[in-house]
Amino acid sequence: MTGPEERTGVLLGEVRTGLLQHSVELSRPAALQLLDLRHGERVRSSTRPNQQVRSPDLLTGVDCPLPTGSRRAVRGVGTALTHAVLTEGRVLQASVRARVGERGAGLRLPWGHYLARPGTVEPTGPVTDADLVGGHLLTGPPAGRLDLGALAERLLTDLQGRPQLDRRAPFKSRRTRLLWSCEPGPPAARFTIEDGTLRTLRLSLEQADPEAVTAFCEDLALHDWLLTTLVQLVDRSGLGSVPGAEPVLRLRPAVNHLLHLWMPGARVDRVLAQVWGHLESSPGFTRQWAAAVQRIRDQLALQAVGLAAPVGER
């Protein structure tokens, strides 16, 4: 029986997002082939509101210390679920999650016990939700503890190295990481930009559907990557400081490959759509995206009528 000081269940996950290393958008048949990760398991795809392909879940057994904010050594045994998502044949994500379930028997049980509970890790000792969340959202390396990010990175690296990709991405970009947690409680969300590539999200919900929460975090990670990458392209273009058509030429990848992908919340569960609404008010994803896109379009319009160059150059 779980004591009053112990946790009742928390979801931990990570999403890594990057540009597919291929010169053109991957076609739907090719995307289905790329994400066919388990023989006999169906690769899911949808075409509305845009094309998205999702691999079946991969099951990975874990038996290691859990990340705890207090640094207490609590062993966890079970399985984590990992899958990949490809949006519009251009943005590739690797997503992993585990529910740290009820306290186990204190000893490792036969693997059949854990395989019957896919995506669940059982702690072998008492640990609180807050301790687990604090440890998982630490930005430093887990130092020998459960590292969900390593599973996501391994899948992403494997897919980017497949022979059907030519590894000639149309522009340079950086991968981003979203570390997330979801614990029982009144609805709340705290999104933090830790540095140039790392973000954390601490969610609490009265009832959490693991698949719905994971899909929400993937949607958030996708749009955070889009916004981050677009801002980087604008910064590198010299827009506002370099005269002539050069900035427009440097921004061409953004127009060709990114601007049509912005659809936040399109595939998010109704309850979690409210969380998206909160994030839209602060930090205001769409507001910043719209400002950057308008700036690019204004520059394109100026170039079209020949007004972008300084007077002395015309």
Cα angle at 80 between 77 and 86, to 5 degrees?
A: 170
Taking alpha carbons only, the member of 152, 101, 149, 147 closest to residue 127 is: 101
**Residue 278: per-residue pLDDT:** 86
What's the rounded Cα separation, in Å, for the pair 77 and 105? Answer: 11
How many Cα atoms within 13 Å fall on the side-chain side of residue 101? 15
Residue 306 has pLDDT above 90, yes or no: no
Residues 6+ apart with CB under 8 A from 197: 174, 175, 176, 177, 228
pLDDT mean over 241-257:
82
**Residue 159: per-residue pLDDT:** 97
Minimum mean pLDDT range among 16-20, 122-126, 149-153, 178-182: 122-126
What's the rounded Cα separation, in Å, for the pair 171 and 253? Answer: 7
Domain locations in the chain as residue ranges:
10-222, 227-308
Residue 220, both tokens: 């958030």
Burial class (CB in 10 A: 0-12, 13-18, 19+), 294: exposed
pTM: 0.91
Strand partners, 11: 99, 182
**Residue 101: per-residue pLDDT:** 84
pLDDT band for position 313 (50/70/90)?
very low
Burial class (CB in 10 A: 0-12, 13-18, 19+), 102: middle
Determine the straight-line distance between the first and last CA of the chain, rounded to whole angstroms. Answer: 80
Token pair 């006999």 is at which residue? 40
Burial pattern 29-51, b for ≥16 Cβ within 10 A else e, equals: ebbbebbebeeeeebeeeeeebb
